[in-house]
């Protein structure tokens, strides 16, 4: 008898270039052997050079997609990405409050090229509505500073950043230190258990989609039954390989390679 794989839902924006957003999420989920599903919250016009524009979907469209999937198919884990506006953040937080599965929040604030993807007036809604219903939040250092005012200049500052993020109510926070010099070190913290995950830094500029990919990999591992620390460890190993194998695409920054494990065997 054919077994149904674990189901993981992404609530995020669409990346027309295929390197980040919904597209990266679904590729990552496939690579982890889970069934990926999507709620599209925004559509971007995006390529290797940047984001040329984005358009939010109406709240009722987001709500309808979520209810359609969750009520019929069910879900074992959820990942959120680009939500853009206070209204979308609030609607998604309300929907997430109705389910009892792990929720991984990637608080997407800008693209790899620096294009803004989160309105300033959405920050407070994210802090007060979305983070309290999350199992794990995965901010980079720019997002930490936006949300907490805590500037991380070196690895020693990351513990304070994690504590500040936990103040908003998530169960765990993973502060990503990839923008610091030296090895790529991320800190996972729940207020008591502090764990560091490190990896080599590869000289590869093609890193579009790293945040989406990491969060989706964690959600996939949680759906497969991992604990949060084990899920982060497995996801870190996966995204490190994807960064190493990132390839040129177009005239700008190419994507990480979500299929690197398959290609290694080709």
Residue 231: which pLDDT band, with cuts at 50, 70 and 90?
Answer: very high
Residue 187 lies in a domain: yes
Residue 175 lies in a domain: yes
Q: Is residue 266 predicted with pLDDT exceeding 70?
A: no
Give the DSSP letter of residue 132: G
Per-residue pLDDT reduced to its tens digit, 131-189: 999 999 999 998 999 899 989 888 889 999 999 999 999 999 999 987 777 788 999 99
Q: Range of 213's domain?
A: 7-257
Residue 1 lies in a domain: no
Mean pLDDT, residues 26-31 taken together: 98
What is the number of other CB atoms lying within 10 angstroms of the CB of residue 56? 18
pLDDT at 182: 79
Residue 265 lies in a domain: no
Residue 3: which pLDDT band, with cuts at 50, 70 and 90?
Answer: very high
Residue 176 host element (H or E): strand 172-176
Q: Whole-angstrom Cα distance, residue 214 to residue 19?
A: 13
Residue 180 lies in a domain: yes
Residue 217 lies in a domain: yes
Output the pTM of the full model: 0.95
Cα–Cα distances (Å) from 41 to 16, 80, 98, 170, in that order, read 14, 10, 18, 22
pLDDT at 117: 62
Residues labelled catalytic: 176, 207, 209-212
| Residue of 153, 152, 147, 101 lying closest to 124 (CA atoms) | 147
Per-residue pLDDT reduced to its tens digit, 94-139: 999 999 999 999 998 766 655 556 777 888 999 999 999 999 999 9
Per-residue pLDDT reduced to its tens digit, 203-229: 899 999 999 999 999 999 999 999 999
Output the domain CATH number for residue 161: 3.40.1190.20
Count up the domains in the chain and report the number. Answer: 1
């Amino acid at each position: 008898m054919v077994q149904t794989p674990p189901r993981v839902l992404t609530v995020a924006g669409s990346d027309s270039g295929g390197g980040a957003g919904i597209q990266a999420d679904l590729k990552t989920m496939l690579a982890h052997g889970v069934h990926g599903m999507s709620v599209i919250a925004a559509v971007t016009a995006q390529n290797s050079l940047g984001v040329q524009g984005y358009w939010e979907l109406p709240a009722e469209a987001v709500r309808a997609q979520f209810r359609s999937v969750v009520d019929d198919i069910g879900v074992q884990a959820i990942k959120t990405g680009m939500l853009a506006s206070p209204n979308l953040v609030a609607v998604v937080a309300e929907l997430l409050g109705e389910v009892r599965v792990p929720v991984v929040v990637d608080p997407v604030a800008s693209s790899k090229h620096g294009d803004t993807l989160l309105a300033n007036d959405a920050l407070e809604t994210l802090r007060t509505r979305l983070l309290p219903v999350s199992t794990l939040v995965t901010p980079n250092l720019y997002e930490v500073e936006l949300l907490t005012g805590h500037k991380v200049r070196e690895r020693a500052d990351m513990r304070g950043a994690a504590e500040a993020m936990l103040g908003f109510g998530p169960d765990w926070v993973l502060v990503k230190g990839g923008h610091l010099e030296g090895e790529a070190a991320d800190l996972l913290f729940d207020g008591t258990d502090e764990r560091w995950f490190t990896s080599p830094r590869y000289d590869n500029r093609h890193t579009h989609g790293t945040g989406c990919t990491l969060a989706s990999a964690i959600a996939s591992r949680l759906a497969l039954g991992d604990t949060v620390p084990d899920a982060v460890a497995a996801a870190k190993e996966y995204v490190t390989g994807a960064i190493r194998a990132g390839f040129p695409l177009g005239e700008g920054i190419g994507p990480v390679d979500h299929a690197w494990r398959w290609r290694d065997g080709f």
